[in-house]
Structure formats: C-alpha cells, structure tokens
Chains A and B, each alone.
Chain A
C-alpha cells in the first residue's frame, strides 16, 4: 500500500491534490456563474432599495434638490404626526378585519375542497377565478357592481326590496373600510383556501381512523385532529393575511384614494401621498420603513416557525 503510494507519488507528484483543488475551483466557478445573475438582479432591485429606504428616512430628499442628511427630524415628525398615527390605526383595523374575514372562511372552504368528491374539485377550480383578475380589473368590476342606483347590488336591493343593499358602499365613511375589507377578502380568500386545502390533505388518514375508533363526533375530530394538524397552515395563512393587509395599497388607491375623508387611508396610501404627491420623499421613507419593518418582522417570524428556509423541511403540500 505504502509502496504503491510512493510509486505513484514519484511518478506524478502532487497531482491528486491539484486535481482536487481544480475541481473545487470549478465548482465555485459554476456556483458563481449559476447564482450570481439572480443574486445581482435581486441585490440591485430589492436589497439595495431596502437599505436605501432606511437611509432616505434620515434625509430631506424632495426629488429636485440634493439629498441632505437631517438626522432624526423625519422620525421626530412621525412621532407627533396625527395623520400618520391615524393611518397606522386604519392599517391595523384593516389587518385585523381582514384576518377575521379571511382566515376562518378560508379554513372552512379549504377543508371542504380537500374532500375527494368530483364536485368539490369543480368548486375548487371556480374558487380560484378571483386570482386570475388583475387588481385594477377587479377593483373596477367591484366599483360598478357596488355602484349606487345602477350597480348590480343596488338593482337587487331595489327590485327584491332588500333596502339594506342600497348603500353608497365606497362613498360612505361608515362603510368604505368594510367594503374594502370585503373586496380584499374576495381577492385573497382563494389563495388561503389553497393553503388550507393542501394542509388538510397532508393530514394522515390514520389520525382520523384512530379518532373514529375512539368514538369521537365530527366536531371533536375537527377540534382534536384537524385543527392541531393544521397549525402550520393557520400560521402561514394568518401571517400572509397580516403582512398582506398591513402593506395593502392597490384596491385602496384605485377605489377610494384613502377616502372618504381619511377612513380608508392606510399607511401605504399615506406613504404614496406624502412621497409621490407631496414629493417629501424623506418623510415618506419613514412611513415606508415602518411598513417594511412590520412586514419583514412578521415574515421572519413565519420563516422561523415553519422552517420554510431549510431545504430539508419535510412538509409537503400539493406537490
């Protein structure tokens, strides 16, 4: 053995080591070639702006002048700005109402369409239709659907004598936020239904067999088997509802612009106004940073909890 190595060694000194090193270098080169383009694109348009948003919050950039450092002035203003505080309040209201509207409903629907009958598959297929529409499209659709007097809902109200349907759904200060919550739920419940459908399908049937042997009723099997087994789906869905609605912008921009008054002016809408309408990008960046921090912290909590980031995470959904 030793002789053989020595012989090889004398014939080709150092060759195996150099081979290994070349191979390693090749792998690194392949990694660089393969990953760098995606990483660069992502870094330039996501990472740099994320850091830059925080930086801008310490400046008074107003589009025209130079970017000037103003320290904590914008953050001081945020602490005493009643407009921003109201936006924050509306944002949390929207998030809380959205969670109430979306997560329980999506769970019920997801469990329903996880069943095996053919008609449930058809239901599931139709449920996805809202996700095919652009937000602009569905906003305009809902706008005319809810239009006072001439809209589809108002027609029903008038002709079926359901007077409560005759409302100025988007124009009334008391109703606008609820209406927006409903439209957002219409848009996103299908997505969360998918999460719960996949979650319900990954519960091993043996658990229900065991429950049946124990003689539990439907409600008990839901409470003691389905619900605990769906905890990942619940956390995933809840986090995504909260992150999504804390940062929500599109429907509100298109349909209410934050109105009537300030009843639907969420933080993202406020940020857009301060930034792109009043061109106070420094202060708008404070609002953006708050928005970003809310979203990032919640999402990181989700990743920690579910282990999305680990490649070995064994949970399977629809795959």
Chain B
C-alpha cells in the first residue's frame, strides 16, 4: 500500500535492517583481514570465548541435569554426567504445594497486560513525538527520557505509598501499571528511534490522500512499526515476566504471587528442607517458555534485550 501511494518501493522497516546487513557484509574482508594477521591473538580470543561459553553453560547444564534427578540420586549420582538414572518426577511433583499454577497464571496475565499497555502507549507517544507538531511533544520526550536514569530501587518506598493510596497495592493490575510505567521510557526511546526512520514522503502521501492524524497512525505508522513492536513486546514481556523487585514490594497475598516471587519463596523456604531437584525443575520451568521464544525470535530478542543501549 505504501509503495503504491508513493510510487517507490521503500521497505518501511526493511530499510535500516538492510542497511545494517549491507554494512556488515561490506566490512567482512576488513574484519577477516585483521584477524588473519596474528594466529596467536586469534587463538587467544578463541580460547577466551570458548572458556566463557563453558562458564555460561555449566550452571545451566547443571540445573537441567539436577532437575532430572530424584532426591536420592541428587545426593549420590555424578551431577555432570547423565548416567545413574534420570526421572521426570520433579516436574510432576513441583505442581504439588508450590502454588505454581496460580503464579504461572498471574505471570502470564502480568506479562500480557504489561505488553499491551507498554506497546500501545509508547507507539502512540512515539508517533506524535516524531511528527514534531507541537512543543508538547518535545517537552514530553525529554521528560520521559529522564525516566531511563531513575533507578527503580530508589523509588520503591514511594511506589508502595502511591499504590496504597490508589488502592492498587497487592493487585495484579496495579503491578501491571507500575511495571508498565517503569518500562515506558526505554520503550518510547526504542519506538522513536524506529518511527523517525519512516520517510517524510510517506506522511506527505498520506496527507495528499486526505488521511488525518488517526488514519495516518493506523494505516502508515502501525504497519511500518511492526518490527519495533515485536522488539518492544519482547522488551516489556521479559521485563514483566522476570521482574522480582516490583512484585516483592507491591504484592503480598498468595493470590497475586508471580513466578519469580513464587520461585523465591519455594526455593528459600526451608521449612520442609529444600528439595533441590524440584527447585531446579521450577527454575527451568519458568525459563522454558522464554527459551523457546528466544530460539524462534533471536533477532528481536537481541534488540529487545539490548534496549536503548543498542542505538
């Protein structure tokens, strides 16, 4: 649609991505040229990189393998080799008495609510900020950017106060609002950096077609922003799914417990003695959905995780 109105086949979003790819390809000879200079330094960096690979994988491997042990095997078997009997029993027994069902549902709701809130609000804001229609946009943008600098740890006490006053303390949707607000600054910056790459001619073409601000947003900005929407979805979804501090401060009852908090309580409550394989199963269980998404959407994850630091 965009291409026909302007008569130019400008891939909206493909443009920056493609540019980056071309640049990378263009650099390839230079990179390999330098690398080729010294076999020693190449080998040293390979060694370091491989050592770090081992450091990254060792605890994760240990966690997965331990989660497949029975409590007795945990004490006796070699924790590094998958021999000596493996069992799924931890993955079934973790559903008993851990409250995992409730926390799973709550975490899913928290993530979905936060994603919806953050993507919608930040795209709307980014569109108006980029259009530079009024001073309001510029001032708001500066103010919102300031939020990147505010460490959440420094404001948990007033957040506790504010949510209590608004009667959203210990409510899942209250947690959605606060988590969303904490993610809005970076989300807006990501959106602005992307939406500003939409060529001016496309807006002009929309105006010639008689489209108003809303129609331009719906028919031009939203479709073109799809890749950055994916990135912000991952950024905010991950931020909500893995957040520990805000649920710790802002929720209390077991009805509102989310996975990281449930995991923490389950893993550190030594009342019955800690069953390590079951705790490891719980850890892997909370990681698994993220891992699956990561395998499918690696590019978007990189940008979503990198956030504003990858300008």
Binding site for B on A (CB under 8 A): 24, 26-28, 30-35, 37-39, 41-50, 52-53, 56, 61, 105, 108-109, 111-116, 120, 123, 125-145, 147, 150-152, 155-156, 159, 186, 189-191, 194-195, 198, 201-206, 208-209, 211-212, 217-219, 221, 236-237, 240, 243, 246-250, 253-254, 268, 271-272, 275-276, 281, 284-285, 288-289, 291-292, 295-296, 299-300, 303, 306, 308-309, 311, 313, 315-319
* B276 and A150 contact, CB distance less than 8 A: yes
Known: A152-B79, A296-B149. 5 other contacts (CB 8 A): A52-B158, A109-B48, A111-B45, A142-B59, A150-B75
B60 partner, pick from A114, A129, A272, beta carbons under 8 A: A129
A-B CB contacts (within 8 Å), total count: 365
B interface size (C-beta, 8 A) = 126
Q: With a CB–CB cut-off of 8 A, which chain B residues contact A250? A: 244-245
* A194 and B305 contact, CB distance less than 8 A: yes
**B301 within 8 A of partner (CB):** yes
Q: With a CB–CB cut-off of 8 A, which chain B residues contact A308? A: 145, 148, 189, 308, 311
Q: With a CB–CB cut-off of 8 A, which chain B residues contact A319? A: 16-17, 20, 193-194, 303, 310-311
Q: With a CB–CB cut-off of 8 A, which chain B residues contact A48? A: 158, 162
* A140 and B279 contact, CB distance less than 8 A: yes
* A127 and B56 contact, CB distance less than 8 A: yes
Q: Shortest 5 CB-CB distances between A and B: which pairs?
A: A205-B30, A292-B154, A299-B149, A45-B181, A34-B128
Give chain A nearest CB distance to B291 CB in angstroms.
Answer: 6
Give chain A nearest CB distance to B197 CB in angstroms.
Answer: 8
**In this complex, which of A203, A205, A289 has the most chain B Cβ atoms within 10 angstroms of its Cβ?**
A205
**B134 within 8 A of partner (CB):** yes
**B3 within 8 A of partner (CB):** no
Give chain A nearest CB distance to B311 CB in angstroms.
Answer: 5
* B244 and A135 contact, CB distance less than 8 A: yes
Q: With a CB–CB cut-off of 8 A, which chain A residues contact B24? A: 116, 201
**B70 within 8 A of partner (CB):** no
Q: With a CB–CB cut-off of 8 A, which chain B residues contact A33? A: 124
Give chain B nearest CB distance to A71 CB in angstroms.
Answer: 19
The verdict on A39 contacting B143 (CB below 8 Å), with A123-B49, A247-B154 known, is yes
Binding site for A on B (CB under 8 A): 16-17, 19-20, 23-24, 26-35, 37-38, 41, 45-46, 48-50, 52-53, 55-60, 62-63, 66, 74-75, 78-80, 117, 121-122, 124-125, 127-131, 133-134, 136-137, 140-151, 153-159, 161-162, 177-178, 180-182, 184-185, 188-189, 192-194, 196, 212-214, 217, 238, 241-245, 248-249, 259-261, 263-264, 267-268, 276, 279-280, 283, 286-287, 290-291, 294, 298, 301-303, 305-306, 308-311
* A134 and B263 contact, CB distance less than 8 A: yes
Q: With a CB–CB cut-off of 8 A, which chain A residues contact B268? A: 140, 254
Q: With a CB–CB cut-off of 8 A, which chain B residues contact A195? A: 306, 309-310
Inter-chain CA distance A249–B154, complex, in Å, is 11
Q: With a CB–CB cut-off of 8 A, which chain B residues contact A246? A: 151
* A296 and B157 contact, CB distance less than 8 A: no
* B181 and A41 contact, CB distance less than 8 A: yes
Inter-chain CA distance A202–B23, complex, in Å, is 8
19 pairs from A and B in contact (CB 8 Å cutoff):
A30-B128, A34-B128, A46-B184, A48-B162, A49-B159, A52-B162, A108-B49, A131-B305, A132-B238, A134-B243, A135-B242, A140-B263, A141-B63, A155-B78, A186-B55, A190-B305, A211-B34, A218-B41, A303-B145
B31 partner, pick from A56, A114, A190, beta carbons under 8 A: A114
B302 partner, pick from A52, A109, A194, A300, beta carbons under 8 A: A194
Inter-chain CA distance A313–B162, complex, in Å, is 36
* B245 and A133 contact, CB distance less than 8 A: no
Q: With a CB–CB cut-off of 8 A, which chain A residues contact B188? A: 38
Q: With a CB–CB cut-off of 8 A, which chain A residues contact B34? A: 208, 211-212, 218, 221
* B261 and A303 contact, CB distance less than 8 A: no
Q: With a CB–CB cut-off of 8 A, which chain A residues contact B212? A: 26
* A194 and B153 contact, CB distance less than 8 A: no
The verdict on A38 contacting B80 (CB below 8 Å), with A134-B286, A137-B283 known, is no
Give chain B nearest CB distance to A300 CB in angstroms.
Answer: 6
* A217 and B154 contact, CB distance less than 8 A: no
Give chain A nearest CB distance to B212 CB in angstroms.
Answer: 8
Beta-carbon nearest neighbor of A106 in chain B = B52
The verdict on A108 contacting B41 (CB below 8 Å), with A45-B181, A205-B26, A288-B155 known, is no
* B309 and A194 contact, CB distance less than 8 A: yes
* B309 and A144 contact, CB distance less than 8 A: no
Inter-chain CA distance A30–B260, complex, in Å, is 39
Beta-carbon nearest neighbor of B280 in chain A = A144
